[in-house]
Structure formats: C-alpha cells, structure tokens
Structure 1
Amino acid sequence: MQEQIQRIRPDQADVLRGLRLSGLQEAPDAFGRRYAEVAARPAQYWDEHVQRYASSSDSATFVLYRAGKPVGMAGAYLEGGRRDHAYICNMWVEPAFRRGGAGGRLVDTATRWLAEQGAERINAWVVDGNQPAMRFYQTLGFVRCSEQRCHPALPEVIEALLAFDTALL
C-alpha cells in the first residue's frame, strides 16, 4: 500500500477537521479536548487554521496518506515563534494503520521540519498514564522530563513533558 506524508494544503480544511475529530472520537482522553467542543467549531475556524498550517514558518500539520486516503496527522509548532519552544502535537494515526512505523514517520517528518526552523529541543505533552503514547515517543528518542502540568483546556487532565534533542537527527 502506497504511503505518503505531506504538509497539509490550504484547501484541506475538511481533511484537518476529519482527522482531528476521528482522533478525538477514537482516543477521547489523549488530546485534552472534548469531541463536542471541537466538532462545534465553525467552518471558518478550520479554514483559518489550515491556511496557517499550510504556509506558516511557525506551525505546520503533516498528513499521512495511505492509497490516497488521509489516515493520520501530526502537528508541529514553535510557541510564540520561539525557536527554544518547539512542540509536536495532535499526533494520531487510525488504529488500522498503527504498529507499522507510520506514526514514527509522521513524528520524524514533523521533528525534521521543526529542526529546519531552528529548533534544538522538541517537546511533546502526553497525558500522564497514557503508556502506549509514552512508549511510542520514547522509542523515537524522546526522554521523559520531570515537568508535569494540568492541561490548559482540561485542568483535571495531567500531562507529562517529553523532550527530543535535534542533535540526534
């Protein structure tokens, strides 16, 4: 099955919305947002976000395609445009396409893009207790830090910080 990873295009608001909602539906506790909240966002929200993710030098979304169908995504951004605050976010792959390395290739694409933007350290917040996600990031070279936080949108959700040194690329 042919696989491609591409940066999202400006005309793909429906792809971004579909993948984001699929991820929230399949793993409701993994992203710190609730399906109903995200599903209620107007079309303008998705249009604006996809425009930014398609062309910004501070944020991007990468889409995994299998046989032309979008089946996964990973976001990457520089918080406040700062090169020392780089993050991977909204990483999700349809369950049927997991365990074959696709998620790793998505994160690698996003990580390399952030490194090209000048990031030296890349962070990922993972819901504390989500052991599959923790193991996934650790197999890619991310290291768990001591820092934790309450998720900004859902204070009852505790997240742990993992970090990756781009010198490893």
Structure 2
Amino acid sequence: MQIREMQEDDWQTVRDVRLRALREDPEVFGSSLAREEMFAETHWRMRLRSARTWVSLDAGGTARGLVGMIEEPGSPKSDRHVVQLWVAPEARRHGIGWSLLDAVRAAALADGAATVSLWVVDGNHAAGDLVVRAGFVRTQERHKLTRDPTQSEERLVLRLT
C-alpha cells in the first residue's frame, strides 16, 4: 500500500474514492453522495488546491483510502483539521487508517501546527477507536450534523507538541 499526496491533476482519483466513500458509508460524513455527485471538475480541483489530500493506493493503483487536512475556518491557526478520513471495507484492519493519519500528522508538524483535530459521528465506533488509539483525545465538544440534526458528532484532538 502506498500513501500518496494528491495534486490538482489527480482530481478524478480523489473524486472516485470520495464518491465511493459516500456511497458505502453515507452515515459517517457531513456531506451526501447526491450533493457531491453534482460537483464539476472545477470544484474537485478547487478542493485539492484548498486541502492537502492523501490517497492510499494498492499495488494495482486502486484507491483504498482517503484523508484530507485543512485549516478550518474559526479554529486556531495552530490547528490542522482532518476531513474525509475513510478506508475501503475490504482494506480495513491493515494499517491504512494509521498510515493516512501519519501523513496528516507529519504534514501538520512540518507546517508548525500544535494540534490536529477531527469530528467523529456518534456510532462510528471504528473511526472513534482508531483515532483514540492514534492518540486523539475526546473533548466532549459536540454539535448536531447539518445534513441530519438527529445525529451528533464529537471533536477529538491530537496534541503534537
């Protein structure tokens, strides 16, 4: 498995794995498949210009995982935020999630960040367990999902310094 940082011209790979993630695990994301299927090439390219993104590729070049890192508006400048963390069901429990988080951690450290944060939807025990084992701490900071106000998510933070 290779973890590769995507560039703007890799937009189709990112689009394909992101849409697969939304198709297979819609309940764990803040967005929806219907919404993101409507995005044009220009939107996908803009996403790659505004968020560092890594994809896990198998030996055949098929994307098996995805993660992004942004400076979230309203968050401290010293925080980097994880978005769209996902691993394909057939590739789970093989260290891909760890490797994707390691890519974010290394990039955040190189960028001078003090923390990395993310939100985990209630009931997404696999993601919650992974990030807690990776050193993220539950904050008890919660909010309702915009796409489904009957669901909530919690913020977790990893201290880098």
Secondary structure of 2:109's counterpart equals: helix
Residue 154 of structure 1: CA displacement?
A: 4.2
After superposition, the Cα gap between the structure-2 partners of 1:85 and 1:156, relative to the gap in structure 1 and judged at 3 Å, is farther
Residue 82 of structure 1: CA displacement?
A: 4.7
Unmatched tracts of structure 2, length 5 or more: none
4+ runs deviating over 6 angstroms: none
TM-score (ref. length: structure 2): 0.91
Q: 2:46 aligns with which of 44, 48, 53?
A: 48
Task: Please list the CA deviations of residues 25-84 of structure 1 after superposition, one character each: whole Å capped at 9, or x if unmatched.
Answer: 11011011111111111222112222x05xxxxx30011111122211110111249533
Residue 89 of structure 1: CA displacement?
A: 1.1
Q: 2:79 aligns with which of 70, 75, 85?
A: 85
Residue 127 of structure 1: CA displacement?
A: 0.3
Distance 2:111 2:77 in 1: 7
Query: Which position in structure 2 is the counterpart of 1:118?
Result: 112
Conserved in 2, the CA contact under 8 Å of 1:88 and 1:111? no
Spell out the pairing of 1:83-162 with structure 2 (5 A cutoff): 83-162=77-156
Query: Which position in structure 2 is the counterpart of 1:23?
Result: 21
Q: Does 1:70 align with 2:100?
A: no
Query: Which position in structure 2 is the counterpart of 1:4?
Result: 2
Distance 2:157 2:148 in 1: 22
Q: Letter of the aligned partner of 1:48 in structure 2?
A: M
Superposition CA RMSD, Å: 1.6
TM-score (ref. length: structure 1): 0.87
Counting matched residue pairs gives 159
Distance 2:148 2:53 in 1: 23
Q: Letter of the aligned partner of 1:104 in structure 2?
A: W
